[in-house]
């Protein structure tokens, strides 16, 4: 049937004859992108293809290529059905193995859409620059489905805007270059069941110069001291760096703003010209002279209006800013409290609300809203990074945001925060430490402090003064997806590791915070997040994270609050409440979200404990509070939360907070308290004097010295649980067969919160895998990941198994995770251990259930998540360092035992809390008489306050008991053994040895 006979619709004929779709004589021919005839498969990166996506398993649309007689072009069209609750759509990515496509010769992109007349907006995105379709900039626009039947939708490239709510790589250059395009994406309507049809995506028209050429300025903000001269550079840029065909003119004039012409500055106006043939990158300058008037003043703005002809104008009007001067708060010689009081007295309610607001960097785009909303803080969530992800790019990005804050009246600097929870883990190339559970296993407070110091140095060197760490949770249930963020299950152990606060911040009085290698620390998550009850979470598919902690008041004080008392004494600068709810048995309130617990934040933390820093909310945590949004805001603020982490909702938060204050539901006094606390830390950090990045320590990021600390931490974190026949340490002369999923995977051994929020398997960061570490140690190693290689002729096998990365509730047991080894890992263990003597290393964030295989394993090691320095693991495997680590949590026999913790009335684990064999060359010997003598000596050391000697005596007694127990662990042994470690951590050395005597007699 002829094609013309098929197109019988009047609407289609009208569209075909419409001037909007006709081709001008000098236009290039349309270039097909998608014909939907089957030439592009349903596939995904790195191959070219069309693929779907969505916020959950139900949200991706169902797509197919459908033959239709009314197809505007060809025989088939793309059709689909959808019913989306969160977000969903589809993408066509070009092949990542080939160069991006050049669309710069065309005016725009167009396609046919089969209208359903549902009035819904449909977002259409194009992908510009970067490495591939999934690592490119997203530029977006939309059209409305308010018609019926086929209609050709034409979208000029000039209509696309840079997405500020989401960028997969954090932005490349924020310029729609069109010379390296990677495809397009369609986001379908939410909340309505629907269908669609689409056909013939193509490039059309001739690009006009205003699309190919743009005028930019060197910065949006140009601060200058009063009486100084500001120079604004105006630059011509073109796609592909081609010279302009037509002249470009830029008329400029100073107008508006808060500065007064003739009094504060000399007005200027004029025209800059870039003649035809001017090359891309050509620059002209405009100078603005400011005047001195000898009076103390806030900052004043001088907008430089630019009117551009022949090119795209700058996205915003550049501003010259005359710096604030002469005001007391600017005087660094004054005490901090006086500077805070002076500044606070000058601020408006809007400016105060801005200081209490923290936005995600991805939400503010180029940063114009920083000044518009007087924002006090920005953060990078997990995986929110600049491109490229380098120290220099981080510093440049943060300096750009700090520059925006200079356009505010009082030029209050931003405080930028990041989750550096085991090193500067968002930064590729940083030193990645073991996660906290491994640091807890070291029982080495000095090492914890060193690890914190390395982290602080690397974080501050990229311009970041604030770290959302350490996590002081006391983890009581290994089913929790955040278990590895805890130093352990014993509050005494957690408290002992809080030396990390000094590593991060320096002296407890805050005098070191101005240093270029220190950052503000955050004690999180206040309070009880580690005690949530399994099955109590109401967050999505989480089972335990963000759930309910049910405790008596005595349990709350002894277990969960204890670490915060120490943190406050150590001068921790900020505290973050937990997402979880607290149910104090007997108080009659039931479960209450921590962000709403004024009794705990205002009453206990700020009141009883005397915390003088500020309280920062968790990510969008107020959205989980009951009531409407104004209720969320006033409840959290009145409960004592001083700054709200509202990543993409900062406009709504500031508006709601201001309204609540004006309505009298939040007092001005409360606002002033919150802002005073925030400003105090900004002054202590020296941000008013030095808001920009000090990168002098950048060369130390990932340095040999820093990695040496991480290597030592990895070595000390290894816990030797079993060592029958002295299989470990290995000898370099032995032929070693290495297998298992985690032997050669640096992503797995680093865990969650590594480069991205959830982390990922594979070669994601520089460092050394355990396998490479063994090779570096000089071992005679053969590697077979799945143990498929022949196993004959080897002296010993090393099987490295365990978990793949996860973070937070995503890793909860029951949410797609369990405590069992994978089938492949079990098979590798079984095969290797049946063929030879074997050592099994478990790389994981929590204990794995290994009991059914324990008899066939000669040596068992809890390796935790050692980070990037696999050499440290090899150091103990080959005896360069002895195994000295101890279990920071109880290792259960079965999931049915959970939760199981030191101090439980019923306690019969696989391995008790505190267990850890050693490979010291001279292990201590002795029996009951020796233990009795050690108990006496330990009591003497305790009375004398000789902690080092007391701990050494307990360690000697512990090793004697372990030697006798061997593999014959019983409940009668386990309970007093675990109790002894807790007692030792609380300084009760005599009692600790006496409990070890009980364990010895029971063995």
> Any idea which residues carry the catalytic annotation?
618, 808
| Residue 800 bridge partners (DSSP) | 841
Which positions ≥6 away from 406 have C-beta within 8 Å?
A: 221, 223, 299, 321, 323, 691
Q: The tokens 């945001």 sit on which residue?
A: 401
CB 80 within 8 A of CB 195: yes
Total Cβ atoms within 10 A of residue 275 = 12
SS3 203: strand
CB 575 within 8 A of CB 522: yes
CB 507 within 8 A of CB 460: no
Question: CA–CA separation, 633 vs 619, rounded Å?
Answer: 14
Tell me the pairing of strands 161-162 and 137-145.
antiparallel
Question: CA–CA separation, 158 vs 19, rounded Å?
Answer: 19
Q: Which of 485, 340, 383, 473 is nearest to 168 (CA)?
A: 383
Q: How many CA atoms lie within 13 A of 936 on its CB side?
A: 5
List phi, psi (to 5°) of 689: -85, -35
How many residues does the structure list for the chain? 1003
Q: The tokens 């009085």 sit on which residue?
A: 509
CB 380 within 8 A of CB 421: no
| Residue 88 bridge partners (DSSP) | 54
Which positions ≥6 away from 955 have C-beta within 8 Å?
A: none
CA-to-CA dists, residue 443 to 297, 703, 851, angstroms: 54, 25, 25
Total Cβ atoms within 10 A of residue 262 = 8
Q: Which of 492, 483, 525 is nearest to 900 (CA)?
A: 483
Question: CA–CA separation, 966 vs 687, rounded Å?
Answer: 56
| Residue 199 bridge partners (DSSP) | 112
Orientation of helix 971-985 relative to helix 989-1002, angle to 10°: 170
Total Cβ atoms within 10 A of residue 565 = 18
CB 97 within 8 A of CB 88: no
DSSP letter assigned to residue 324: P
Summarize the chain as % helix, strand, coil (round to 5): 30, 25, 45
Cα angle for residues 726, 876, 934 (degrees, 5° grid): 70
Q: Which of 820, 742, 841 is nearest to 785 (CA)?
A: 742
Q: What is the DSSP string of 161-201?
A: EE-SS--TTS-SSS----SSEEEEEEEPPSSSEEEEEEEEE
CB 717 within 8 A of CB 916: no
Total Cβ atoms within 10 A of residue 57 = 6
Longest dimension (CA), the chain: 105
Q: Looking at 819-927, which runs of residues are DSSP E strands? A: 838-843, 859-864
Cα angle for residues 873, 877, 881 (degrees, 5° grid): 80
Render the burial of 460-470: b for 16+ CB within 10 Å, e for the rest: bbbbbbbbbbb
Question: CA–CA separation, 434 vs 38, rounded Å?
Answer: 49
Which positions ≥6 away from 388 have C-beta within 8 Å?
A: none
């Amino acid at each position: 049937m002829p094609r013309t006979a098929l197109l019988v619709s009047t609407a289609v004929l009208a569209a075909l004859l419409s001037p909007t779709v006709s081709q001008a004589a000098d236009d290039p021919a349309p270039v097909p992108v998608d014909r939907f005839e089957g030439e592009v498969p349903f596939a995904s990166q790195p191959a070219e293809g069309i693929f779907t996506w969505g916020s959950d398993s139900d949200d991706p649309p169902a797509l197919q290529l459908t033959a239709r007689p009314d197809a505007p072009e060809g025989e088939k069209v793309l059709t689909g059905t959808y019913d989306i609750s969160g977000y969903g759509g589809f993408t066509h990515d070009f092949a990542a193995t080939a160069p991006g496509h050049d669309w710069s010769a065309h005016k725009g992109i167009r396609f046919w859409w089969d209208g359903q007349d549902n009035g819904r907006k449909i977002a259409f995105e194009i992908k510009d620059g970067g490495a591939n379709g999934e690592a490119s900039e997203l530029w977006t626009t939309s059209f409305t489905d308010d018609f019926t039947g086929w209609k050709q939708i034409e979208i000029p490239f000039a209509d696309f805007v840079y997405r500020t709510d989401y960028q997969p790589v954090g932005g490349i250059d924020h310029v729609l270059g069109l010379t390296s395009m990677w495809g397009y994406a369609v986001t379908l309507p939410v909340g309505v069941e629907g269908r669609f049809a689409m056909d013939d995506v193509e490039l059309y028209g001739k690009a006009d110069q205003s699309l190919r050429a743009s005028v930019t300025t060197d910065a949006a903000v140009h601060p200058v001291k009063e009486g100084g001269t500001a120079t604004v550079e105006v630059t011509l840029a073109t796609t592909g760096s081609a010279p302009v065909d037509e002249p470009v003119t830029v008329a400029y004039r100073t107008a508006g703003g808060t500065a007064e012409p003739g009094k504060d500055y000399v007005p200027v106006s004029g025209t800059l010209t870039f003649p035809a043939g001017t090359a891309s990158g050509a620059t002209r300058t405009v100078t603005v002279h400011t005047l001195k008037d000898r009076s103390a003043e806030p900052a004043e703005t001088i907008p430089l209006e630019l009117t551009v002809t022949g090119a795209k104008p700058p996205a915003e009007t550049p501003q010259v800013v005359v710096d604030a001067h002469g005001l007391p708060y600017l005087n660094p010689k004054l005490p901090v409290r006086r500077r805070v009081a002076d500044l606070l007295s000058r601020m408006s309610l809007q400016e105060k609300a801005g200081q209490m607001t923290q936005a995600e960097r991805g939400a503010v785009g180029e940063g114009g809203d920083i000044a518009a909303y007087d924002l006090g803080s920005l953060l990078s969530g997990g995986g929110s990074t600049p491109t490229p992800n380098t120290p220099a790019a981080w510093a440049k990005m943060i300096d750009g945001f700090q520059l925006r804050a200079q356009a505010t009246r009082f030029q209050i600097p931003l405080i930028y925060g990041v989750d550096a929870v085991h090193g500067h883990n968002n930064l590729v190339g940083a030193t990645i430490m073991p996660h906290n559970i491994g640091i807890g296993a070291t029982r080495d407070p000095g090492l914890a402090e060193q690890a914190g110091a390395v982290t602080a140095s690397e974080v501050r060197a990229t311009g970041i003064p604030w770290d959302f760490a350490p996590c002081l949770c006391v983890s009581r249930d290994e089913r929790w997806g955040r278990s590895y963020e805890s130093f352990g299950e014993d509050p005494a152990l957690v408290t002992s590791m809080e030396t990390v606060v000094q590593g991060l911040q320096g002296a407890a009085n805050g005098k070191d915070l101005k240093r270029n290698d220190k950052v503000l620390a955050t004690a999180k998550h206040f309070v009880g997040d580690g005690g949530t009850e399994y099955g109590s979470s109401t967050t999505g598919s989480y089972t335990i994270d963000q759930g309910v902690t049910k405790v008596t008041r005595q349990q709350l004080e002894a277990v969960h609050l204890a670490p915060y008392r120490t943190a406050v004494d150590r001068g921790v600068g900020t505290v973050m409440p937990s997402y979880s709810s607290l149910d104090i048995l007997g108080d009659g309130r039931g479960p209450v979200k921590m962000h709403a617990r004024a009794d705990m934040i205002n009453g206990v933390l700020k009141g009883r404990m005397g915390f003088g820093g500020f309280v920062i909310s968790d990510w969008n945590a107020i959205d989980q509070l009951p009531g409407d949004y104004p209720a969320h805001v006033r409840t959290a603020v009145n409960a004592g939360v001083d700054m709200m982490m509202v990543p993409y909702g900062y406009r709504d938060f500031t508006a709601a907070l201001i309204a609540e204050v004006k309505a009298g539901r939040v007092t001005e006094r409360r606002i002033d308290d919150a802002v005073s606390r925030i400003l105090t830390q900004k002054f202590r950090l020296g941000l008013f004097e030095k808001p920009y990045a000090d990168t002098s320590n950048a060369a130390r990021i990932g340095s040999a010295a820093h990695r040496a600390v991480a290597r030592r931490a990895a070595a000390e974190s290894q816990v030797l649980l079993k060592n029958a026949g002295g299989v470990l340490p290995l000898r370099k002369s032995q032929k070693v067969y290495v297998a298992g999923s985690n032997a050669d995977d640096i992503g797995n051994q680093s865990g969650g919160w590594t480069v991205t929020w959830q982390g990922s398997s594979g070669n994601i960061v520089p460092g050394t895998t355990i396998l490479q570490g063994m090779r570096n140690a000089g071992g005679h190693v053969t590697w077979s990941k799945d143990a498929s290689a022949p196993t004959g002729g080897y002296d010993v096998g090393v099987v490295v198994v365990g978990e793949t990365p996860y973070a937070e509730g995503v890793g909860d047991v029951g949410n797609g995770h369990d405590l069992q080894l994978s089938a492949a890992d079990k098979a590798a263990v079984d095969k290797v251990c049946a063929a030879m003597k074997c050592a099994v290393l478990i790389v994981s964030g929590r204990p794995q259930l290994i009991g059914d295989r324990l008899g066939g394993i000669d040596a068992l090691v809890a390796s935790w998540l050692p980070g990037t320095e696999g050499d440290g693991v090899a150091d103990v495997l080959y005896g360069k360092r002895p195994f000295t680590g101890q279990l920071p949590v109880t290792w259960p026999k079965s999931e049915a035992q959970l939760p199981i913790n030191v101090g439980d009335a019923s306690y019969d684990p696989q391995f008790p809390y505190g267990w850890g064999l050693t490979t010291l060359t001279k292990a201590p010997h002795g029996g009951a008489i020796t233990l009795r003598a050690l108990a006496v000596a330990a009591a003497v050391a305790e009375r004398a306050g000789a902690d080092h000697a007391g701990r050494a005596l307990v360690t000697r007694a512990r090793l004697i008991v372990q030697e006798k127990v061997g593999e014959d662990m019983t409940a009668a042994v386990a309970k007093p053994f675990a109790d002894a470690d807790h007692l030792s951590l609380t300084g009760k050395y005599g009692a600790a040895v006496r409990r070890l005597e009980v364990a010895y007699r029971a063995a």
